[in-house]
């Protein structure tokens, strides 16, 4: 009996030592985890949030606060010789996207209403502007057949200047008068609060897009092949 009591005592001691060893191991693991955790916060197996997550900002274009002008250089031998056309795009919509500090992902899409394009040059009288607008609709732009002019970017490149200013080259597909061609639009982008401002200019050859100039003797819209577009566009963050 004495031997049995001794054996039971040894077994109890062994169990106590084993439990103590397990407890020490758990305490050590908890200590290691606590060292890596932020002070005052419980440790968690969930990965910490990525503070460098890419955030692309979206801006809806506002035609009511913007200017989009087609400069058509005068041609022909009529009484308006020497007067260039300034055709304003009154109605357009679209969206620009840009990722601060690193530019991309970035994109631009603009849809302009062909029927909203009107003569605005001050060298023409109101009566002359009415004639020009009529020829723009019926002979040049033909909005009933081609109601929209669409640009969709395929690539955006450039660099950030000091402050919130970017010099970009926006390459994409321009669809005009039923013809699609690739063009590149240089633009300077600046930010003010929740607004984006884009200014720049680009040129196209109207012959590439099968855009006519009036050829009748009485025609007013007789212009050279090269047409320059200038823009000063405002967008609001969405």
Q: What is the pLDDT of residues 177-186, one digit of tens each?
A: 999 999 999 9
Residues 200 and 169 in one domain: yes
- The structure tokens listed for 6 are 């001794």
Residues 40 and 110 in one domain: no
Question: How many Å separate Cα 38 from the centre of its chain?
Answer: 38
Residues 84 and 202 in one domain: yes
Domain count for the chain, please give it: 2
Q: Which residue range is the domain that position 24 belongs to?
A: 1-48
The CATH number linked to 207 is: 2.40.128.110
Residues 42 and 128 in one domain: no
Residues 33 and 76 in one domain: no
**The pTM of the whole model exceeds 0.75:** no
- The structure tokens listed for 5 are 């009591």
Report the SS3 class of residue 127.
Answer: helix
Residues 140 and 25 in one domain: no
Question: What is the distance between the alpha carbons of residues 114 and 62, in angstroms, rounded to a whole number?
Answer: 17
Residues 208 and 91 in one domain: yes
Residues 108 and 32 in one domain: no
Convert the pLDDT of each residue in 113-165 to its tens digit: 999 999 999 988 999 899 889 988 988 899 999 999 999 999 999 999 887 89
């Amino acid at each position: 009996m004495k031997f049995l009591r001794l054996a039971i005592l040894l077994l109890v001691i062994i169990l106590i030592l084993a439990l103590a060893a397990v407890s020490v191991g758990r305490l050590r693991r908890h200590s290691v985890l606590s060292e890596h955790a932020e002070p005052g916060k419980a440790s968690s197996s969930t990965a910490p949030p990525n503070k460098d997550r890419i955030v692309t900002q979206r801006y809806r274009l506002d035609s009511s606060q913007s200017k989009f002008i087609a400069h058509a250089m005068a041609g022909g031998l009529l009484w308006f010789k020497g007067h260039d056309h300034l055709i304003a795009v009154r109605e357009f919509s679209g969206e620009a996207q840009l990722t601060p500090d690193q530019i991309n992902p970035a994109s631009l899409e603009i849809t302009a209403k062909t029927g909203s394009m009107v003569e605005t040059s001050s060298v023409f009288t109101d009566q002359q502007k009415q004639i020009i607008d009529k020829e723009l609709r019926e002979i040049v732009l033909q909005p009933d057949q081609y109601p929209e002019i669409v640009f969709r970017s395929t690539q955006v490149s450039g660099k950030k200047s000091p402050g919130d200013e970017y010099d970009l080259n926006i390459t994409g597909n321009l669809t005009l008068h039923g013809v699609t061609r690739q063009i590149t639009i240089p633009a300077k982008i600046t930010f003010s609060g929740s607004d984006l401002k884009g200014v720049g200019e680009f040129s196209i050859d109207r012959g590439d897009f099968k855009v006519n100039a009036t050829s009748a003797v009485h025609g007013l819209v007789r212009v050279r092949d090269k047409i320059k577009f200038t823009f000063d566009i405002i967008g609001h963050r969405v």
